[in-house]
Amino acid sequence: MASEAPKSSLSLLKRFIGEALSHRRTLVIVILSIIGSALAVLAPPYILSVAIDRYIVPGNYDRFWVIALLYLCALIAQWFFATLQTFYIEVFGQKVLRDLRARLHEKVLRSSLAFFKNQSTGDLVSRIINDTGIVNDVLVSGLLGGLGSLLSLVGIIVAMLLLDVRLTLVTLTSVPLMILVAYYFGGKMRRAYRETRQKIAKISSVVEESVAGVETIRAFGREAEVEREFSRVSRDTIKAYLRVAVYMGLFWPLMNITSLLSVVFVIAYGGYLAYQGAVSVGVVVAFIQYAQRFRGPINNVVSMYDSLQSALAALERIYEVLDDENVEDYRGIHFNKLGGEIKFDNVWFEYERGRPVLKGINLHIPPASKIAVVGRTGAGKTTIANLIMRFYDPTEGRILYDGIDGREISRKSLRRKVGYVPQETYLFPGTIMENILMANPEASEEDVIRVCRQLGVHEFIMRLPKGYETSAGEAGKLLSVGERQLISLARALLKDPDIVILDEALSSVDPKTERLVQDAMLKLMEGRTSIIIAHRLGITRFADKVVVVDNGKIVEEGPPEELLARKGHFYRLYTSQMGEA
Ligand SMILES: Nc1ncnc2c1ncn2[C@@H]1O[C@H](COP(=O)(O)OP(=O)(O)OP(=O)(O)O)[C@@H](O)[C@H]1O
């Protein structure tokens, strides 16, 4: 394992660089500005030494303005290239970041539901936002900045060697010490800083939980505990910040002092050499300036090395998502219209290997018939709906639509013709109108109103503060589960589907809304193949056939009145629910 790590880090980096190279033009500007910047840093000390040796010391001020102007130009060039470098590294980094995030986001949208089973939302969001951010900071800004720093260091050393070898060696004596300080204290500072970010995240999550769970906290009288938890996290945060302050306070002054050590050596030894006439005063001044220019680049290079490991780990998490093979395939036969016949042919299904949830389902649903699927919680009812939508494909067996195996039909085309009303309606940010319109991009606002009138939902929507223009966020707080399901029903009808799947949520609905939802459901089902996952068994009286699922198998099927008369599974479910009611 240990010997594999560097190789895989290298291949990760290689892949990343290969992908980043798609923005070659920006990268060329970055490299040119880095080279320009490294050269520009070298010029001012050298020009200063010439000014001192040729003009100031001999007292020759003839055309001194030329050298002064040159010095000014060198400073301007230094400023110009540094700005250019910072800006274009950011441009390049943002382009790479945008690509990565877009690919990850697209991947999430295209992944099959099996992919989400092993992912928590928080973790996935963190990979798309934080990990890509770390990769940009370290592998783009850090690496390119580090490259610039390395170039500056090499440039400074070469310039010094050209001026005087002895003084160069004296200047370099404090470099190992500087590396040590940068590595030891710089590392500690960065780790402490990372900790502050974690603590802030922790505070946010405590606040978030307090807001989200305010009712539960009050109901169970947990206010004092939650407050204590908040104070504890706050104290930890302060400690983390103070630790950063201590290391910051130590780090930069220490780096300054170590770099000044070189200056002291240069002044002492250079002064001695100058006194002996072995070097000029200008050269000594140039060395003093070069010695002070070491600090920044050394810190950059060391810190880059230090953060590389965490960036590689982030990169690995990103590629893990990008390389996941659970992707939905949209190829296959396209339909403009489905006949509506569905047939389950010995369908087995497992979410997890070796744990079948559906065990050999055989079911024939004729066109335009209404089937109610009932059963205890966890029996496999929603799984049947998931398979009809092709959110998953059967592990064994086939589902035939008008006699064609579902695997051969394009998922997109199939879903366009299936109206799915899930148990919980998700409302996107935007208005109620936009939320219904999203079901069918070709529909107009008039179509939405027509559909809502048809379902008997129009009056209810008009009673909302701004009618169809009420924002979903506002409505989210105002609407009950049943009312949300009404919006979901309107969405389904707007698609004019050939097949309807209803996961009814009537159990948590008041009688008045229940009536409204039920009527809307019946209107949606009219003339369409319909599968109702029924939690309230009252609705089964509208079904042509009831299918009782238990432990992944169909244990009973037939018209509702026949099943009731038979006094089997359905009868027992029905009477126990009526008893509860
Ligand atoms: N994504 C999943 N990964 C693993 N197991 C799952 C997943 N979804 C459902 N299951 C399991 O599959 C079984 C059937 O679940 P399903 O949701 O189909 O039941 P259900 O009959 O619709 O239940 P309910 O009436 O509570 O909605 C359950 O044991 C459940 O724990």
Q: Which long-range contacts (CB under 8 A, 24 or more apart) does 449-452 make?
A: 451/490, 451/493, 451/494, 452/490
Convert the pLDDT of each residue in 389-409 to its tens digit: 999 999 999 999 999 999 999
- Give the pLDDT confidence score for residue 196 in this predicted structure: 87
Ligand 1 atom nearest to CA at 385: 18
Nearest CA residue ID for atom 1, ligand 1: 117
Nearest CA residue ID for atom 23, ligand 1: 378
How many Å lie between the centroid of ligand 1 and the Cα of residue 376? 11
Convert the pLDDT of each residue in 407-452 to its tens digit: 999 999 999 999 999 888 888 888 999 999 999 888 999 999 999 9
- Give the pLDDT confidence score for residue 16 in this predicted structure: 94
How many Å lie between the centroid of ligand 1 and the Cα of residue 113? 13
Convert the pLDDT of each residue in 254-311 to its tens digit: 888 888 888 999 999 999 999 999 999 999 999 999 988 888 888 888 888 778 888 8
Please state the length of the chain. Answer: 581
Name the average pLDDT for the chain: 89
How many Å lie between the centroid of ligand 1 and the Cα of residue 545? 23
Nearest CA residue ID for atom 6, ligand 1: 351
Convert the pLDDT of each residue in 234-243 to its tens digit: 999 999 999 9
Ligand 1 atom nearest to CA at 383: 18
The alpha-carbon radius of gyration of the chain (Å, integer) is: 36
Mutate to test the pocket of ligand 1, among 355, 383, 533, 536 (most ligand atoms within 8 A of CB): 383
Q: What is the 3-state secondary structure (H, E, C) of 132-184?
A: HHHHHHHHHHHHHHHHHHHHHHHHHHHHHHHHCHHHHHHHHCCHHHHHHHHHH
Nearest CA residue ID for atom 24, ligand 1: 377
- Give the pLDDT confidence score for residue 161 in this predicted structure: 94
- 373 has a pLDDT exceeding 60: yes
Rounded mean pLDDT, 370-381: 93
How many Å lie between the centroid of ligand 1 and the Cα of residue 380? 6
Nearest CA residue ID for atom 28, ligand 1: 378
> What ipTM describes this predicted complex?
0.95
- Give the pLDDT confidence score for residue 482 in this predicted structure: 80
Domain limits, the chain = 11-97+117-323, 342-580
How many Å lie between the centroid of ligand 1 and the Cα of residue 154? 63
CATH no. of 11-97+117-323:
1.20.1560.10
CB of 372 closer than 8 Å to CB of 545: yes
- Give the pLDDT confidence score for residue 507 in this predicted structure: 63
- 580 has a pLDDT exceeding 70: no
> Which of 174-183, 196-205, 230-239 tops mean pLDDT?
230-239
- Give the pLDDT confidence score for residue 326 in this predicted structure: 85
- 8 has a pLDDT exceeding 90: no
Nearest CA residue ID for atom 10, ligand 1: 351
Distances from the Cα of 401 to the Cα of 282, 344, 368, 545, angstroms:
89, 9, 13, 19
- Give the pLDDT confidence score for residue 189 in this predicted structure: 84
How many Å lie between the centroid of ligand 1 and the Cα of residue 358? 10
Ligand 1 atom nearest to CA at 552: 14
Convert the pLDDT of each residue in 541-562 to its tens digit: 889 999 999 999 999 999 999 9
- Give the pLDDT confidence score for residue 7 in this predicted structure: 45
* 11-97+117-323 matches 342-580 in fold: no
Closest CA to 354 of 395, 320, 325, 314: 395
Nearest CA residue ID for atom 16, ligand 1: 380
Between residues 539 and 269, which one has the greater pLDDT?
269
Mutate to test the pocket of ligand 1, among 117, 382, 387, 392 (most ligand atoms within 8 A of CB): 382
- Give the pLDDT confidence score for residue 506 in this predicted structure: 66
- 1 has a pLDDT exceeding 50: no
How many Å lie between the centroid of ligand 1 and the Cα of residue 552? 10
Q: What's the pLDDT band for 581 if we cut at 50, 70, 90?
A: low
Q: What's the pLDDT band for 386 if we cut at 50, 70, 90?
A: very high
Mutate to test the pocket of ligand 1, among 116, 348, 353, 357 (most ligand atoms within 8 A of CB): 357
Convert the pLDDT of each residue in 449-469 to its tens digit: 999 999 988 998 898 888 999
* Site residues for ligand 1, CB cut-off 6 Å: 117, 351-352, 357, 375, 377-383
Ligand 1 atom nearest to CA at 384: 18
- Give the pLDDT confidence score for residue 281 in this predicted structure: 93
Q: What's domain 342-580's superfamily in CATH? A: P-loop containing nucleotide triphosphate hydrolases (3.40.50.300)
How many Å lie between the centroid of ligand 1 and the Cα of residue 511? 28
How many Å lie between the centroid of ligand 1 and the Cα of residue 375? 12
Round to whole Å and give the CA distance between 418 and 69. Answer: 76
For the ranges 25-39, 497-511, 551-565, the lowest mean pLDDT is seen at 497-511
To 5 degrees, how large is the angle CA 133–CA 139–CA 140?
Answer: 80
